[in-house]
Amino acid sequence: MRVQRAIRTLLHLQIMVVMLLAVPGSWAATTASGSPEQIVHRLHESLIKAMREGGKLGYRGRFELLAPVIDRTHDLDLIARTTLGADWVQLNAEQQRVFTDVFRKLSIGTYAGWFKSHEGEHFEFLEQQSMPRDQVLVRTQLVQSSGDPVRFDYILHQGKDGWRIVNILADGVSDLALKRVEYRAILQRDGFQTLIDMLKEKIALTEQN
């Protein structure tokens, strides 16, 4: 199944793991506006729209469709800072701005590049769990057209703008952990500009998918 292969490729390349498709109507009907479940549902709705209209929209159209949704459902600024960990404070203000901007473009580009066609998959809500530090874990699974499930877990925190996604796990693999290892190693070994150049190369690759 092409979507699963794409997701696993993203993991191997340590690119942002992504979500797709709409949750069942019974789940959507019972979630309160702005709740963790509803945040995930809003993202899924936009992804399914991008996939169904993928050929007509093209990469740029999907990017423009998904950008405002991802901005509203993800805390990209926090994810960017957390990805670099202690190295974040070693950057000056301009470097922080540049990294956050490129990180955002890569995050959105990854969605737009991979989720461009629909093959009959659907998402199912499994459960919600409270976590330490006032975070929430929303567990779901992607049921493929073959019937085989793939687990997708979303970690959200509540900030000044409400609940936002701060990490994603596909079959138990943390996207944030992968990025921390890769990005910090490049930054420490080769420097800031090399890291930015690498991220821009990844963005270019998303446009080719």
For 115-128, how does the pLDDT look when each residue is reduced to its tens digit (9 = 90+)?
888 888 787 899 99
Bridge partners of 122, per DSSP, are 143
CATH number for 113: 3.10.450.710
pLDDT tens-place string over residues 149-169: 988 899 999 988 899 999 999
Between 156 and 20, the higher pLDDT residue:
156
Determine the Cα angle at 80 with ends 113 and 88, to 5°: 145
Is residue 17 over pLDDT 60? no
Give φ, ψ of 16 to 5 degrees: -50, 125
Domain count for the chain: 1
**With 0-12 CB in 10 A as exposed, 13-18 as middle and 19+ as buried, what is 87?**
middle
**Strand order across the 122-131 sheet:** 122-131, 135-143, 149-159, 162-170, 173-174
pLDDT tens-place string over residues 74-116: 999 999 999 999 999 999 999 999 999 999 999 999 999 988 8
Domain that holds residue 202: 2-208
Is residue 209 over pLDDT 80? no
Predicted confidence at residue 15, as pLDDT, reads 33
* 209/207 Cα distance (integer angstroms): 6
